Structure 1
Amino acid sequence: MRRLTDFTRRGAVALLAGGGFALAAATLPATAQDFPSEPITIVVPYSQGSNMSTYSRAVAPVLQDILGVPVVVKNVPGANGWLQVFSAKPDGTTIGVGDPTGQIGISIVQPLPYEVADFTWIGQFASGNQLLVASTAAGMKSLEDLAAAGKPIRCGTFGGLSAGAVQCAMLGAEKGFNISFVNTAGPPEVALAAVRGDIDIGSVGVNLWQDHIASGAVTPIVVWAAERDERVPDVPSLTDIGIPELGALTVYRAVFAPPGLPADRAKILRDALTKAQEDPRWKAFISEGNLDNNFEFSEAYADGLNKAFGAVKAQSELINEAFN
């Protein structure tokens, strides 16, 4: 696989098309380019209420103060949101927040109008633990129930094939049951589908399940991580059920930009996002929401994503079988 920091051929051609002036502009110090001097748009390719949207809307006013320009958030669910960032001018005024794991999964089963590896990956707010649960209304309460169902287990997904859907497929392969997918609008809708019994299992962020667990509408099956999560300390981890190696197949709340974003502008965005983590408003947001906050904004971030992408692609045959 190409390194994520490489330009696409198209991006390189576009950069050279303007001749010497274009090249010079791309390499001038950021201060000389006066970046940012225009509003920045954060495109979220998920519905409102999703963790991606929540993180984006919390960081926007903090970034606005740090960068000195308006920062707005726009929800554009699905491939259209990703494509909007991919096709934007690579000047730093359009960025996105989304999960690349699910996008790599989708690229295995259907062609995409963009290459996931070619985005400029700025970093992440968090790589969050997912919680896979079973729907009480669908008559599922345990791994044993899933294995004994004698029919494909319906797993909630969104945007085509989410990271949680890949996790469902992996769990089914390891524990002996087949998966079919039910598409929804986003993570909150996966949770509601489980409550209604429209799906048998679903895997989204831990906090989205808390109230439904308390009401008895869903039963937690496994925390998708090698270690247990303190928010649901009694729920087994992947290590507890014998498959710790699948912990890399997690969700990343990643920040990305169009292919070909100049390195100096990427650095300004990384520095601002890192500084935002120290803002009292951001700290209160994380603390009050009991949210994951293992942030990383660095040039090396793309290297770690390459490993996650490799883990997903290694399961291409299984993902294709489950999705089709």
Structure 2
Amino acid sequence: MTTNTVRRHLLALAAASLAAAAGAPARAQDFPNKPITLIVPFPAGGSTDRHMRTLADLAGKQLGQSIIVENKPGAGGTLGPGTMARTARPDGYTITQFPMSMLRMAHMQKTAWHPINDFTYIIGVSGYTFGFTVRSDSPYKTFNDYIAAARKSPGTVDYGSTGAGSSPHLLMEELAENAKVRLNHVPFKGNADLQQALLGGHVSAQSDASGWDKYVDGGQMRLLMTFGEKRTQRWPQVPTAKELGYGVVSTSPYGLVGPKGMDPAVVKKLHDAFKKAMEDPRHAEVLAQLNQDAWYRSGADYAQWAREAYAKDRALIERLGLAAK
């Protein structure tokens, strides 16, 4: 190979490198140029689905592309995000709502994903109002009535939740431990299935986020207790688990994540669009309907919170005897 040929070859390599470097920001600059898929790991019709559909519509307007909601329920809210982590490209076109059960399931069983290392944290969004409801014709007029029945017949008094390892499940397991009772847990795929099971008399109670709101307000269900730090504005007559002496408080914050390795410029575009969506009056209206508060966190702050929550929840799960063997 002559000196001129070597020189030409090196110049070609350098030009290719420069073109690649120039192309990366250009790709981020063009993002998005097609619809984005937002995975909701719970069935349609529940509180998470209602929230995410509104947020997706508002953020899509900011981005100039539609954001299509894909419901992928199962495994206590971990099936959808776990599948995304294993199969989706980190190009920003597939993202997911990230429930707190993702930070717990990895302590409870072997998973094909790691909740911290296999995701890119985009933005923190909100937290739930959890409550405990029964049918309006239930013999349990108060939550203490329910606990008294469980003490009388250990392991036979049941409740449903949105899945093993979900926040509604672990809240009740922690409460049962504090109350020194044994309850019969019945897991469901998501809010919609759980609501119908309760209304149909297949379970006697449910622990869930506020997807039950319309049934409580409509008189089909009775809300016995909520799990916040203080009573809700919407149902101020309903006591909290804390004031009843059961020592459990949770809102189970959630946000949006993508696969690991996303371009920071794409992450910023998504973050900024969803942050503007969160500031829209329509978003505030939906949160008010669900009795939820905004929980904005930047991607970096959300990732830091997740690392701390992941470590903290290990101790809880081990204390409850739910850790993987």
After TM superposition, the score normalised by the length of structure 2 is: 0.80
Q: Deviations over 1:67-89 (max 9, x none)?
A: 11222111111244223321311
Out of 41, 48, 62, the position equivalent to 2:44 is: 48
Identity of aligned residues (%): 24
Residue 230 of structure 1 aligns to a residue whose secondary structure is coil
Out of 231, 234, 253, the position equivalent to 1:231 is: 234
Residue 253 of structure 2 aligns to a residue whose secondary structure is strand
Aligned to 2:128: 128
Query: How far is 1:159 from its partner?
Result: 4.2
Structure 2 residue identity aligned to 1:183: P
Aligned to 2:91: 91
State the alpha-carbon separation in 2 of the partners of residues 310 and 135 from structure 1.
37
Q: Deviations over 1:291-321 (max 9, x none)?
A: 4241314021222233333332212234445
Runs of 4+ residues deviating >6 angstroms: 20-23
Aligned pairs for 1:207-226 within 5 A: 207-212=211-216, 215=219, 217-220=221-224, 222-226=225-229
Confirm or deny that 1:157 pairs with 2:161: yes
Residue 107 of structure 2 aligns to a residue whose secondary structure is helix
Q: Deviations over 1:118-176 (max 9, x none)?
A: 32222232112211234566644432432423222423123443110011101101111
Change over 3 Å in CA distance of 1:160–1:145 after alignment to 2: closer
State the alpha-carbon separation in 2 of the partners of residues 22 and 120 from structure 1.
27
Aligned pairs for 1:33-44 within 5 A: 33-44=29-40
State the alpha-carbon separation in 1 of the partners of residues 166 and 121 from structure 2.
19
Aligned pairs for 1:48-127 within 5 A: 48-78=44-74, 79-86=78-85, 87-99=87-99, 101-118=100-117, 119-127=119-127
Confirm or deny that 1:306 pairs with 2:288: no
The answer to which of 104-113 and 54-63 deviates more is 104-113
Instruction: Give unmatched runs, 5+ long, in structure 1.
Output: 1-19
Confirm or deny that 1:184 pairs with 2:185: no
Query: How far is 1:257 from its partner?
Result: 0.8
C-alpha RMSD of the superposition: 3.1
Structure 2 residue identity aligned to 1:36: P
Considering only CA atoms, is the larger Rg found in Structure 1 or Structure 2? 2
Equivalent residues, number: 300
Residue 115 of structure 1 aligns to a residue whose secondary structure is coil
Q: Is the 8 A contact 1:39 1:71 kept in 2?
A: yes
Confirm or deny that 1:170 pairs with 2:171: no
The answer to which of 66-75 and 233-242 deviates more is 233-242
